[in-house]
Every structure is written in C-alpha cells, then in structure tokens.
Amino acid sequence: MIALGVLGLAAFFLVGAMQIRVSPGYAHIGPRFFPFLVSGGLAVCGLALLLEALQPRPAGVGEGEPERLPINWGAVLVVGAALLVQQLLLERAGFVVASALLFWGVAFAFGSRRYARDGLIGVTLAVAAYLAFTYLLDLNLPGGWLAGLVLRLTGGA
C-alpha cells in the first residue's frame, strides 16, 4: 500500500509539473525541472518499494509484531536545534553558513564525530546548492555576511 501511495504521489507531482507554463525563450533550467525531478525520484522509490513488497519471503519472516526500536530523543533534539539555528542564521549569516551548520548538526545527531570532514561536506553541498539556485535558476538565496566579505575581497560593489 505504501508503494502504491508513493507511485500515486509521483503521478500527482507529474500532472502538476505538466501544468506549469514555460515561456518559449527560457534559456535556463525551467520551472518544471525540479517538479519533474521530484516526480521521477518518487516513481523510482515507489517502484523499488513495489518490487520489494512483491518478493517472496521465507516462512516465518515478517510475521508477528515488528520489533520496536527506542527513539533517540537526544538526536531528535539536536536535529531540531540545528533546524532552529539554520532558521535564525539564514538571513544574517546567509544560506551557505546556515545550511552548512544544519548539515553538521544532523551529522552529529546521527552519530558522526568527524567534525572537520562533516563541516567540509556541509560547506561543499551548501555552496553547490547556493550556486545552482543563484546561477542556474536565477533565485536569490540570502548571501549574508559571507557574500559581503567575498564582495569586499574581490573589489565588487
């Protein structure tokens, strides 16, 4: 049932994406790109879930009550705090700094203790997302004090 729900959600997003109007002279990635990407990702996940559900199971597997894992409330609180910090810093510090800290906080909550590596990955992903949204999609994400610093160092206005 979950697989069918995910496939239905993929179809819903696909129909919605098809209804987005695109001007004929649009030079960049159009407004349909991400809805199509999400729809395709949901379709792949839905198909994988459906294939998994249709696989025959050995006798005794999947019967009875599922084992319940305890909730790690500390990790939940750290992720919540990381989200709050990201929202508080987004305008002031900028998208890159806020999102890198969010990535670092979630990695910490998931048990990673490689702080420098996680920070480097967070900055790399945040810069890539910032550049993609700013230059490919022409969407302005908050630059924050980092953008001001870059402009001062490069002699920009």
DSSP conformation letters of 43-85: HHHHHHHHHHHHS---TTTT-SPPPPPPP-HHHHHHHHHHHHH
Does residue 98 carry a pLDDT above 80?
A: yes
Span 36-60, pLDDT tens digits: 999 999 999 999 999 999 988 776 6
What per-residue confidence (pLDDT) applies to 110? Answer: 96
Q: What is the mean pLDDT of residues 137-142?
A: 85
Q: Mean pLDDT in the chain? A: 87
CA nearest neighbour of 7 among 37, 55, 49: 49
Instruction: Work out the widest C-alpha separation in the chain, in whole angstroms.
Output: 70
- Residues 54 and 152: their CA atoms lie apart, in Å, by 59
pLDDT interval class at 133 (50, 70, 90): confident
Does residue 147 carry a pLDDT above 80?
A: no
What per-residue confidence (pLDDT) applies to 23? Answer: 74
Span 99-121, pLDDT tens digits: 999 999 999 999 999 999 999 99
Q: What is the mean pLDDT of residues 3-32?
A: 85
C-alpha distance from residue 114 to each of 5, 108, 119, 127 (Å): 37, 8, 9, 20
What per-residue confidence (pLDDT) applies to 58? Answer: 72
pLDDT interval class at 77 (50, 70, 90): very high
SS3 94: coil
- Residues 114 and 108: their CA atoms lie apart, in Å, by 8
Contact 14, 36 (CB under 8 A): yes
pLDDT interval class at 15 (50, 70, 90): very high
What per-residue confidence (pLDDT) applies to 150? Answer: 64
What per-residue confidence (pLDDT) applies to 113? Answer: 95
